[in-house]
Structure 1
């Protein structure tokens, strides 16, 4: 046992630093508002996502093929009754979800998206589906 203690004591500062860096955790969990982790995670993405980016990242999985009764992107007939309900209704359904007709999960499962980003995605889909 003494041999192990002596060998650890005999390490140089650079060797000790190397060992310390190798035994560090692989990652770190930072919660929103925790300033001890460096920059805020929201700023790491480069700012707010466009409607097209949100659509391509979260919405197209269902809206490109009509999964779960989702109106297909670009299908004016499928969107017409929904558009007639007004954008506020579309926004509410997209943000809160809609489960009585098919399956529209809240925020299309993009929980990192802000309400404004979801609204931009709705606007993008509506603009391209009229």
Structure 2
């Protein structure tokens, strides 16, 4: 009986550790720019609220694209005009922010 209980305890602890690692990896998985856009950015960038460049509008995006990705990323991280820092995605990584910007730029092509 003692050996069965010990074995069961090891199995349960192993499953618990596996679950924690899996959840941790899921939490750290990078989200696509498209997913972030439709979660955080769509409200302003779909309609152009407060001068936000609209998704798909080459005319709106060209002046921003001319500034460089580095400038766009810096502004999106720190916030600019009516846009709050990280566009309200406080848990977005810099890489995810860049991916989201690229998604919006690519929509103009």
Question: What TM-score, normalized to structure 2?
Answer: 0.74
| RMSD of Structure 2 on Structure 1 (CA) | 1.8
Greater C-alpha Rg = 1
Equivalent of 1:73, from 37, 55, 67?
Answer: 55
Q: Distance in 1 between matches of 2:46 and 2:70?
A: 23
- Residue 117 in structure 1 maps to residue 99 in structure 2: no
User: How far off its partner does 1:88 sit?
Assistant: 0.6
Structure with higher helix content? 2
User: How far off its partner does 1:43 sit?
Assistant: 2.9
Equivalent of 1:56, from 20, 31, 38?
Answer: 38
Unaligned 5+ runs, structure 2 = 1-19
Paired residue total: 90
- 1:71-124 per-residue CA deviation (whole Å, 9 max, x = no partner) reads 10000001111111111111111111002xxx1111110011111101100010
Unaligned 5+ runs, structure 1 = 1-37
Q: Which runs of 4+ in 1 moved over 6 A?
A: none
- Residue 107 in structure 1 maps to residue 81 in structure 2: no
Counterpart of 1:35? none
User: How far off its partner does 1:129 sit?
Assistant: 1.9
